[in-house]
Amino acid sequence: MAYPTTGATIVPIYQTSTFTQTRVGEHKGYDYARTANPTRSALEAQLASLENGDFGVAFSSGVAATSAVINLLSAGDHVVVGDDLYGGTYRLFSKVYARYGLEFTYVDMSDLAAVRAAIKPNTQLVWLETPTHPLLKRVDIKAICALRGPGQIVAVDNTFASPYFQQPLALGADVVVHSTTKYIGGHSDAVGGIAITSDPAIRESLKFHQNAVGGVPGPHDAWLTMRGAKTLAIRMREHEHNARLVADFLESNDEVEKVYYPGLLSHPQHDLAARQMSGFGGMVSFVLTGPQERALDFAHRMKYFSLAESLGGIESLICHPARMTHGSIPKEERERRGITDGLLRLSVGIEDADDLVADLRTAIEATALVRR
Q: Say whether 99 is catalytic.
A: no
Please identify which of the residues 14, 86, 90, 183 carries the catalytic annotation.
86
Q: Where are the alpha helices (DSSP H) in 71-199?
A: 87-91, 112-118, 141-146, 162-165
Q: Say whether 182 is catalytic.
A: yes
Quote the Cα angle for 233-37-72, to 5°. Answer: 80
Q: Where are the alpha helices (DSSP H) in the chain?
A: 38-50, 62-70, 87-91, 112-118, 141-146, 162-165, 200-213, 219-229, 232-252, 270-276, 293-299, 331-336, 353-371
* Sheet of 317-319, strand order: 256-260, 283-288, 343-347, 317-319, 306-307
Radius of gyration for the alpha carbons in the chain, expressed in angstroms and rounded:
21
Please identify which of the residues 40, 138, 182, 203 carries the catalytic annotation.
182
Q: CB of 32 within 8 A of CB of 21? A: no
DSSP bridge pairs for 26: 23
Q: Say whether 86 is catalytic.
A: yes
DSSP bridge pairs for 317: 306, 347
319 Cβ neighbours under 8 A, 6+ residues apart: 134, 299, 307, 308, 309, 311, 325, 344, 345, 346, 347
Please identify which of the residues 83, 84, 140, 157 carries the catalytic annotation.
157
CA distance 290 to 84: 24
Q: CB of 289 within 8 A of CB of 248? A: no
Q: Say whether 34 is catalytic.
A: yes
Residues forming the active site = 34, 86, 157, 182
